Homo-oligomer: A and B are copies of this chain.
Amino acid sequence: MAVFAGQGDARRSMALLWRAPEAGGARTGPGPKPGLSVDAIVDAAIAVADEEGMAALSMRAVGERLGRTGMALYTYVQSKSELVDLMYDQALAELPADYDPDADWRAAASSWAADLWAFYLRHPWLLQVSQARSVLGPNEYVMLDTAVRVLRPTGLEARMLRRAVGTLLHFVRGTASTIAETWQAPKATGVSEEEWWYTRSALLTEVAPDFAERFPAVAWLEARGGFRNEDETTPYLEQEARETFEAGLVLLLDGLEAAANRAAPAPGAGRLPRLP
């Protein structure tokens, strides 16, 4: 069968993603019974990525977790990249999908974004998986469906709604990335965040004694408390990222509300009749 260069068999990939029966389902014939399954492999891979980060995700590591060699996985999966696609879609399955369609759309959008944010922080490796690759898996469509359902009461026109969803997605991913990096940096470098920050700030004043003159606006921000840590217990970057998420979400929803009012300026525009 013809296969695209460097891409593997796209049909097999899609069949696997959607768990179509043709793709390695119940098999009867000669040869030993399969001791693994695609699901088991994907779960093990997700566990590795969750626990040790994307950098530690090797075929061997996944295989060992299942008591096999790394090569054993190639019986079930065409390539590591396909495995990552499967991990991605599988992980998305745990996202909530029900948001009260009769409630205020702002509230629904807020909890949707917060859920997504928390989800990314449970699986920080997702943020390292291609920013925008669309694998067209079932759970990716569930997520998109949920997002559209949540935002439909804004009354925005379809294309505009699509852009709003994209904007929200990018925003959530971006802010979650900051925290994810904060968490994985100590693991990777062996230096705690506090220690890193402390050392680097000290070195900064050493290497740029004229900081305030060179970066007046930053200095202004700093003087006004722009970088101050209010809660001493959480690392600075993490706290800032949390605040950025909350504040940025408000900005976005305010903007969305303005757009919604422009689109349907009638009072009660947030409660448009639901569509099938």
Name A residues whose Cβ lies closer than 8 Å to a Cβ of B: 4-7, 10-11, 14-15, 17-18, 20, 127, 130-134, 136, 138, 141-142, 144-146, 148-149, 152, 157-164, 166-167, 169-171, 173-175, 177-178, 180-182, 185, 188-191, 199-200, 203-204, 206-208, 211, 214-218, 220-221, 224-228, 237, 240-241, 243-244, 247-248, 250-256, 258-259, 275-276
Contact = CB atoms under 8 A, between A and B. Distances in A.
Contacts of A214: 138, 141
A161 B221 contact: yes
Closest 6 CB pairs of A and B: A170-B174, A251-B255, A167-B248, A158-B224, A131-B177, A132-B178
Contacts of A204: 14, 136
Contact of A248 (B170, B199, B228): B170
Contacts of A247: 160, 163-164, 167
A136 B5 CA distance: 42
Count copies of this chain in the complex.
2
Contacts of A142: 215
28 contacts: A4-B189, A4-B199, A6-B191, A7-B190, A10-B203, A17-B207, A127-B131, A131-B174, A131-B177, A132-B181, A132-B241, A138-B208, A144-B217, A145-B217, A162-B221, A162-B226, A162-B240, A162-B244, A163-B240, A163-B243, A163-B248, A164-B251, A166-B178, A167-B175, A167-B251, A169-B174, A170-B171, A250-B255
Contacts of A174: 131, 169-171, 173-174
A130 B240 CA distance: 17
A194 B38 CA distance: 29
A263 to B, nearest CB: 12
A37 to B, nearest CB: 19
By secondary structure, the A interface counts as: helix
Contact of A4 (B131, B146, B182, B191): B191
Contact of A221 (B20, B158, B189, B276): B158
A259 B255 CA distance: 10
Given A144-B218, A254-B258, 19 more contacts: A10-B203, A18-B208, A132-B182, A132-B241, A141-B211, A148-B218, A148-B220, A158-B224, A158-B226, A159-B225, A162-B244, A167-B171, A167-B251, A167-B252, A250-B255, A251-B256, A252-B252, A252-B255, A254-B259
A254 B203 CA distance: 39
Contacts of A10: 199-200, 203
B252 A203 contact: no
